[in-house]
Structure 1
């Protein structure tokens, strides 16, 4: 995997980890805070609404559920008012507005929050509702006068309201996380390319070096000290190797030039000798001239290699013919040493 992609994945992984460490506790805290805020809000609303019904429960005035109905319409909370026996006086979920005082009475005394509130204790709780198949936030506030409990006002709200608020927060946090990851991806992609660019250029220099070009190219400056040190080391190695190869080529070229003159002189002497040798010895001199020619070709190849003008051309050769010529060359030496040379298939 390219280093730029590794760096980008590292940036995204770190950002994602930070977002998870920050957003998950924040969402949990916000969800709990929403529940506490809802509970305290319902408790305050219940205390305010209960003042509207205190005189009516004492028998001093007629019960007016208008304030409770307006509150239920505004907050979608259910408002229930019961008397001392736990019998409903009105219920915002029973009947249409304006006719709820005439709705059938229900016994709420079996509800745990109502039963406890009738003892004079305010109840703020959450419990599941079997009829509604959901969890309810409940606040039951006793309405008392002169130490006597006259009734109970209960507010209930579906927990789905709080769940919807928490869900909206989760969606907002998720959106923020996605945007943050997108920004980090854009910035990280730019930074990773900038960081890896000197390495890519160094890799191109290595490939150029492997192809035989030992020159030191100009590369973009890097702020990473390790990359700078690696580039400097490579450039130093390339310079030293280029100098060594230049010295080697110079030596080979000089040696080749120095060997050409004596080889040419030796060939001329052998050609002159060939005209004066006894009959039957001409092949031996011709073989020596051939060896001198081969040595001249070898010296020429060394010179071309040193000058790096062109590579030696590949040609087809008859190995049998080469073998026979070698046997002829060394036959005299072999016979003097008592060794017989044979060329199979000759």
Structure 2
């Protein structure tokens, strides 16, 4: 990944530098050529002005000779010709007498605008003495292009150095950016590999990099913590289930061993005891399956008439309550639906009523009432049984949390899971005067929910 980031940024930098440097260099080169040609023609015009005084005005040649001397000192070669092309004056060098110079003289004498050509590293400039239409002579000046070439070479060298410096700086910055991005990702990859190898306590400590990588690391750590909790929770569940199943299985095996050697008159009693243990084992397995189904439930809330469901479940449990001498009363108000998964409230009430009827002694009472709120509907199941200690209430919603439970110890775990999955809450309180009160805060249905 580092290599790809560096190569991509370098390629982008090279393209941008080339797009900026090449046009700049070409523009500077063209401007230098124009400036050099203009200066050459200006120098030729200076000599042409003094030559005009000599050829047209018949003035002394002192001014022309002085200009020729200055041109020689500047490194220029100058030739002054009359209207017939004869040489009038010249500097000692012969660079202005090449064939290109003679062509310039002929064009200038013919009254045509000459184009300054280059000849062997020199630029030639021709200026008429007098007017273009009737010139009295021609001045041809040849100037070496070496200084021009040197300036252009220096300019391109500086442009190249700046471009290389920019590319080098871009390479350094791209390497830093790539490492800045890649280092936390490598740390995260190492943590993920260790987590996959079974080290559930491994976490990704990312202290650098972009914010997106920080969020990814936080998400990974949350996922790792969730995975660790799930694995440890499943291990705890397996340990609890193994412990809970061991007791009835051992009791059944003991009864069967005794039944094999017991006299005939005790066989029915041993067989009945073994059947009781089988029934207990069956209830335990059914409870575990109910908890597993509750934990895997993804509810689709629908409006549920709580008063109707409570009345239905009270009627279903009334025969059991009468058999045990317990009275069930229903004080739920009508017209307040809750938003729950289909059938979940029935399961919750069945578990709570079963626990209450097991705990309440003869002549006891179990009361169900409801109180609507702005966002929730509070349903209470109140009994006057022996109640639970604060320590027992603190762990009552765990699987097998209450070791003194008469049943499987899974009823309240199922209730808690079903209620919280639907967005509600369940708490245990002490009933005034003795007993246990289960408080359900259920989300209201859509037609009663406050805006």
Q: What's the TM-score, normalizing by structure 1?
A: 0.63
Distance 2:42 2:176 in 1: 55
- 1:220 is matched with 207
Q: 8 Å contact 2:78–2:141 — kept in the other structure?
A: yes
Q: State the 1:108 CA deviation.
A: 7.0
Matches within 5 A, 1:37-76: 37-58=35-56, 59-62=58-61, 64-74=64-74, 76=75
Higher strand share: 2
Deviations 1:17-57 (CA, angstroms, capped at 9, x unpaired):
11100111111111111111111111222112222222222
More helix by share: 1
Q: Are 1:89 and 2:88 counterparts?
A: yes
- Residue in structure 2 matched with residue 78 of structure 1 by the alignment: 77
Matched, 1:139 2:152: no
How many residue pairs get aligned? The number is 259
User: Which residue does the alignment assign to 1:98?
Assistant: none
For the structure 1 residues 209 and 154, does the alpha-carbon distance in structure 2 shift closer, same or farther, using more than 3 Å as the test? same
Measured after TM superposition, the shift of residue 10 of structure 1 is 2.0
Shift, 1:232, TM fit? 3.6
The partner residue of 2:141 within 147, 150, 155 is 155
C-alpha contact (below 8 Å) 2:111/2:132 kept by paired residues: no
User: Is the Cα contact below 8 Å between 2:122 and 2:143 reproduced in 1?
Assistant: yes
Q: Please, what is the CA RMSD of the aligned residues?
A: 3.7
Corresponding residue of 2:18: 20
Alpha-carbon contact 1:136-1:159 (below 8 Å) kept: yes
**What do the CA deviations read for 1:61-120 (whole angstroms, capped 9, x no partner)?**
13553322332332x33222112211223333538xxxxxxxxx9797982211121234
Give 1:265 deviation, angstroms. Answer: 8.7
In 1, distance between residues paired with 2:2 and 2:80?
Answer: 69
Specify whether residues 267 and 151 from structure 1 end up closer, same or farther in structure 2 by C-alpha distance, changes over 3 A only. Answer: same
CA–CA distance in structure 2, aligned partners of residues 183 and 83 of structure 1: 62
Q: Which has the higher contact order (CA 8 A, sep 6+)?
A: 1
* Equivalent position of 1:198 in the other structure: 184
Aligned 8 A contact 2:104 2:114 in 1:
yes
1-side partners of 2:98 and 2:135: how far apart? 17
Unaligned runs of 5+ in 2: 259-451
Structure 1 residue 171, shift from structure 2 partner = 0.7
Equivalent residue for 2:28?
Answer: 30
* SS of alignment partner, residue 117 of structure 2: strand
Task: Output the CA distance in 2 between the equivalents of 1:137 and 1:145.
Answer: 23
DSSP-derived class of the 1:212 partner = coil
CA contact (8 A) 1:140 1:152 kept: yes
The equivalent of 1:211 in structure 2 is 197
Distance 2:156 2:26 in 1: 9
Q: Distance in 1 between matches of 2:100 and 2:171?
A: 61
Distance 1:137 1:109, change over 3 A: closer
Mark the runs of 5 or more structure 1 residues left unpaired by the alignment: 96-104, 273-346
Determine which of 7, 19, 39 is the counterpart of 1:9: 7
**TM-score (normalizing by structure 2):** 0.49
* Conserved 8 A contact 1:195-1:224: no
- 1:141-187 Cα shifts (integer Å, max 9, x gaps): 00127974221111123444433322221111000011112222222
